[in-house]
Amino acid sequence: MAAHFSSGNRREVVMGLKILCCLFAFLVPLCNGGRVSTSFQNLEVQKHLKRLNKPPLKSIKSPDGDVIDCVHISHQPAFEHPLLGNHTVQMRPNYHPEGLFDESKVSTPSESSGGTSPITQLWHVNGRCPEGTIPIRRTSSKDLLRASSIQNYGKKNHKTFPQPKSADPDLINQGGHQIWILGGTFAEDLNSIEAGWQVSPDLYGDNNTRLFTYWTSDSYQATGCYNLLCSGFIQINNEIAMGASIYPLSGYHKSQYDISILVWKDPKEGNWWMQFGNNQVLGYWPAFLFSYLTDSASMIEWGGEVVNSESDGQHTTTQMGSGHFPEEGFGKSSYFRNIQIVDGSNNLRAPKDVNTFTEQSNCYDVQLGKNGDWGNFFYFGGPGRNPNCP
C-alpha cells in the first residue's frame, strides 16, 4: 500500500521538495499479553518520562492539547549519546546547497486553480520559544502506554520492513517514507534518514498531521527513533517542534498549503542537515551516527505509505494523502513538487533515472509530471478500500 519514487543516482546525496499531506499510519499492538505489576509499570513510565522530558525554561499549551517545552539547547536528548558528551554544537552549516527554486515565481499547473501557501505549526498560536532554547513536544504517560512496550516507544518495528539484499531500486518495493535517504542493506545495516508529514494515532494519540523525522543505522533494529525521542539528532532551531501539528491544512477543492523540506550533507563536517520551509534550518544528524551515509546516499525515495492492519483479508479504509486519486489533479489530489537532489558539487538539480511504483493502483496510485513552474512533480494517493480495492 505504497506509492513512491526511487532514484538510483549513486553519488547524489539529498533533495528538497514541496509536499501536501501524505497520510502515514504506523500501527503497533497495544499489548503483548501476560501480566505486569502496575506499580512497577508506573515506576518505569515515570523514569522514562523523566529521561524524555527535560526541565523547560518555558512551556506553551497548544490548542490541540500538546504541551511544547522550551528546553535549553544544551539539555536536549541528543547529548545523552555517549559520543556527544563533549560535542560542540554546530550552529549553522558550512555549506548550503545552491540552486533552490525561486518560490516567488512558482504558480500552480493551472493558473485558474489558485496558488499555494506556506504553513507553520499550531502551537505558535499561543507563543514562541526564546533564543537559546529548542521546542520539544512533551511526552505523556498515555503516549508511553500506547506503545507495545516502554522501550519500543518512538521506534519502528524492524519486522514490518522488507528484507531485500541491498538498497537497490529494483529490490525495494514496499514502504514509501515521504523523503527516504538510504545507504547499506536492509538485512542488518541499513542507514536511513526520513522526514515528512505523518498521521500516527499510536505515537501521538490523535489524527493530527504532524512534522516528523526518523533515523536508523542498523535497519531499525536498535538505533534511531522518531523526532527527538532518543539521542542522535541535534536541533538548533527555536521555531519548529518535531512531532508537533502542522497548521493550516489543505482542503478538497479549497485552499492549498504545502511545506518545503530539504535534507543535505555538509561536505566539510559530514553532518546531515535538515531545513523546514525556505529558511528554518532545524539541525543535523552527526556524521558518526552512520556508516554507509558517511560519504553519500545510494538511493533516495519520495512517496506515501499506509499500513494495512486489517486481519480479515480486506484492505484498510485508511486514506493516503487527500484520499483522492492523482488524476483529479490540483486542489483535490496530494502532490510533491519541485523535487531536486543535491549532487557531488553541492548543487541542487533535477533527479535522473526516476522510477515509480505502487503496490495496488486501485487503492492508491501515482502520476508524475514536469513543467517550468513545478519542475519535477507528481500527484499521488487514494481512498484505500473501495469497490475496485476490496
Helices (DSSP H) in 190-283: which residue ranges? 201-204
CB 202 within 8 A of CB 210: no
One-character DSSP codes across 160-212: GS---SSS-TTT--S---EEEEEES-TTTT-EEEEEEEE--HHHHSS---EEE
- What is the spatial distance between Cα 229 and Cα 238, in angstroms, rounded to a whole number? 17
Q: Which residues are catalytic?
A: 194, 305
CB 49 within 8 A of CB 139: yes
Helix (H) or strand (E) holding 42: helix 38-52
| Alpha carbon distances (Å) from 354 to 138, 153, 173, 243, 373 | 39, 35, 14, 30, 19
Q: Give the distance, in angstroms, between the CA of residue 107 and the centroid of all CA atoms in the same chain.
A: 25
